[in-house]
């Protein structure tokens, strides 16, 4: 099973507008069901699954967030994903734990980190690499 967790520790509620792995939309504002948008309070976690491809067949990860009316976005391909070893990519056989850990100076970006491991194992490895969702729009 491919477990996907997104944990918010940035101090305020965020909303996941889009979460896409290898072209498969897990959350998208165009959906009409509960996966349309996901709100995550501070210190809360969204949990989901992605099993369409094996973890080592990973190609892309996209996430778009709303934080206090501002929109942030990241698009990571295999060559620009988090540094690490086996099971760091989302997919069947891995557990990917994304941590939204802070807002940059001037609200220009949101910091994202990753802890990962083999599905079913109880130990996770953290990536010492940070990625950033960049500000793409702000409400006036």
- β-partners of residue 14 are 40
Half-sphere exposure of 99 (CA within 13 A, CB side): 15
Give the model's pLDDT for residue 140: 46
Give the model's pLDDT for residue 34: 63
- What φ, ψ does residue 58 adopt, rounded to 5°? -65, 140
Q: Extract the residue ranges of the chain whose pLDDT is less than 50.
A: 140
Q: Are strands 131-138 and 70-77 parallel, antiparallel or unpaired?
A: antiparallel
> What's the number of domains the chain is made of?
1
Supply 21's token pair: 């792995």
Give the model's pLDDT for residue 31: 75
The per-residue b/e assignment along 21-46, b for 16 or more CB within 10 angstroms, e otherwise, is bbeeebbeeeeeeeeeebebeeeeeb
Domain that holds residue 127: 3-138
Q: Which residues lie closer than 8 Å to 41 by C-beta, 6 or more apart?
A: 8, 13
């Amino acid at each position: 099973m491919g477990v996907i967790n997104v944990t918010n520790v940035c101090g305020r509620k965020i909303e996941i507008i889009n979460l896409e792995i290898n072209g498969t939309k897990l959350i998208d504002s165009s959906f009409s069901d509960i996966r349309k948008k996901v709100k995550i309070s501070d210190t809360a976690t969204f949990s989901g699954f992605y099993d369409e491809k094996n973890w080592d067949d990973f190609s892309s990860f996209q996430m778009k967030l709303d934080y206090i009316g501002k929109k942030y976005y990241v698009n990571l391909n295999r060559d620009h994903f988090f540094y690490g070893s086996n099971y760091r990519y989302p997919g069947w056989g891995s557990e990917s734990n994304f941590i939204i850990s802070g807002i940059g100076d001037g609200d220009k970006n949101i910091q994202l980190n990753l802890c990962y491991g083999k599905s079913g194992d109880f130990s996770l490895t953290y990536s010492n690499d940070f990625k950033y969702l960049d500000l793409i729009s702000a409400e006036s």
